[in-house]
Amino acid sequence: MEKKIHGTDNREVLNIISELLNRVGLEKSVLTKDVKGLFESKIKNEAELEIIDTLLLQIQTINEKLENVNWMNKHYRILHEFAQVCSKTLNESVLLLKAYEMVSQVMRTDSFYIALYNDGDSHTNFIFIMDNGEQAPPRRVELGENYTTKVIRTREIVHLKQQSKSQEYHAKMGEGEIDTSSCLFVPIVIDDHVKGVISAQSTADFAFRKEHEELLQMIGAQVINSIETARLYEKIYTMSQTDELTRLKNHRAFHNDLSKLIEEGNQEITLIMIDSDNLKRINDNYGHDIGDLYLKILANGIKDVSCNGIEGYRYAGDEFMIIMKSEVQMNIKDLFEKLQEYYMLNPIVIFNKQITVSISSGVGVYPQNGLTVDSLKKAVDEALYEAKEQGKNFMVVAK
């Protein structure tokens, strides 16, 4: 005869416990009112029911720990995936979108933003805003009565669990009509400096947990570190492609740009080589500071005629290049005349004397005058030499 607990079959109770154990780690809570009620209906002895309650509490504790372990495993997997993305791209837009996608995998993001802040600024730059799945334009927001400012100033996380009439500020930065209820505003602190704020928000109450705060901190730090690296790389790259004196692109950028256009091979390209006529005399008579000013004005004239399809470069010394694409509705003669007009209107004034920049120019066209960078350069160099031979302030087009 089977042993019973005050008339209850042991096997029946054990089957219920076995079923609960099978659900451990699969659900957020295995200890429900229905489960408790089931045991209470089958066990009438208070002492035995107390033992069962203790056992159920232990099962629930184990379940919560396993659920947290599962969440953390997913959490760190997300961080690892995001770290891989950060190591492979310097594209800021890609980094921001991926950060949003990663966060969305593990928490509600009916609204989401990343804002950057620099010490001493009176504003924050909201560089990425998502609202109800739609990306909103970036915006600049002044520090003031808002949660972003509060987080920056206190360095403390703001966790709103449900919408309340006593809520201090309007939370959502997007344009959607539905207000958010649960909100996380997390400071991003790097090297003891607040670099920004990352926020996830939900229209549901109690949508976030403590672990979500940690996830936002880690992803926020990763994305801002990556953005700073990307911006530093872009700055260094730009400096490597820019002439320090004139701020025009340099010879390295010229070769890169012209090579790329020729490789594409789908349009006519006009190359103009420009050489100053009087730089040596200016340097000899007035010094190199005035000579540098002469080169700056020469470069400013090139910037003045530059537009979409016309790009200027300081090639070397007092030699400059202009690349003109076929899409530009301007002929070479008009461009040269615009340069001359600029220099006439912007002379150097020294010792009550006006010095007008004077240039000579050689012009060549791809593919007629050359199929490679070197052959096209050679054609315009020869045309420039001929212009110099004919006199100053003159232009020659290669035949």
What are 295-308's pLDDT values in tens digits? 999 999 999 999 98
0.75 surpassed by pTM: no
282 and 359 co-located in one domain:
yes
338 and 286 co-located in one domain:
yes
In a domain, 81, yes or no: no
In this model, does residue 60 exceed pLDDT 90? no
Residues sharing a CB contact under 8 Å with residue 320, sequence separation 6 or more, in sequence order:
248, 273, 274, 275, 298, 299, 302, 312, 313, 314
CA distances from 66 to 109, 267, 325 (A): 25, 64, 64
In a domain, 187, yes or no: yes
In this model, does residue 42 exceed pLDDT 80? no
Average pLDDT over residues 151-174: 79
Range of the domain at 299: 251-397
Domain at 346, CATH number: 3.30.70.270
233 and 257 co-located in one domain:
no
Residue with tokens 């212009």: 387
In a domain, 84, yes or no: no
What is the enclosing helix (H) or strand (E) of 223?
helix 210-240
The better pLDDT of the pair 67, 285 is held by: 285
Largest CA distance in the chain: 124
132 and 269 co-located in one domain:
no
Residue at which a domain ends, from 48, 73, 98? 73
Number of domains in the chain: 3
Gap between the Cα atoms of 122 and 340, Å rounded? 45
Percent of the chain with pLDDT over 90: 53
pLDDT at res. 51: 75
Question: What is the token pair recorded at 240?
Answer: 């490597």
User: With DSSP H G I counted as helix, E B as strand and the rest as coil, what are the percentages for the chain, rounded to 5?
Assistant: 50, 25, 30
280 and 190 co-located in one domain:
no
Question: What is the token pair recorded at 59?
Answer: 């099962």
Q: How confident is the model at residue 189 (pLDDT cuts 50, 70, 90)?
A: very high
In this model, does residue 214 exceed pLDDT 70? yes
In this model, does residue 187 exceed pLDDT 90? yes
In a domain, 83, yes or no: no
pLDDT at res. 6: 47
23 and 45 co-located in one domain:
yes
313 and 376 co-located in one domain:
yes
pLDDT per residue as tens digits for the range 254-279: 999 999 999 998 889 999 999 999 89
96 and 233 co-located in one domain:
yes
pLDDT per residue as tens digits for the range 303-352: 999 998 999 999 999 999 999 998 887 889 999 999 999 999 999 998 88
Domain at 121, CATH number: 3.30.450.40
Q: How confident is the model at residue 7 (pLDDT cuts 50, 70, 90)?
A: very low
pLDDT at res. 27: 63
Q: How confident is the model at residue 3 (pLDDT cuts 50, 70, 90)?
A: very low
In a domain, 244, yes or no: no
Picking from 99, 122, 65, the residue whose alpha carbon sits closest to that of residue 186 is 99
In a domain, 185, yes or no: yes
Question: What is the token pair recorded at 105?
Answer: 């995998």
Residue at which a domain ends, from 73, 105, 128? 73
Q: How confident is the model at residue 372 (pLDDT cuts 50, 70, 90)?
A: very high
199 and 166 co-located in one domain:
yes
pLDDT at res. 276: 95
Average pLDDT over residues 120-144: 93
E strand residue ranges, 117-250? 123-131, 134-136, 139-142, 158-160, 182-190, 193-202
The better pLDDT of the pair 104, 55 is held by: 104
301 and 388 co-located in one domain:
yes
pLDDT at res. 62: 73
The reply to whether omega before 367 is within 30° of 0 (cis) is: yes
64 and 42 co-located in one domain:
yes
pLDDT at res. 31: 62
Residue at which a domain ends, from 238, 260, 290? 238
Gap between the Cα atoms of 20 and 5, Å rounded? 19
pLDDT at res. 247: 95
301 and 193 co-located in one domain:
no
pLDDT at res. 177: 60
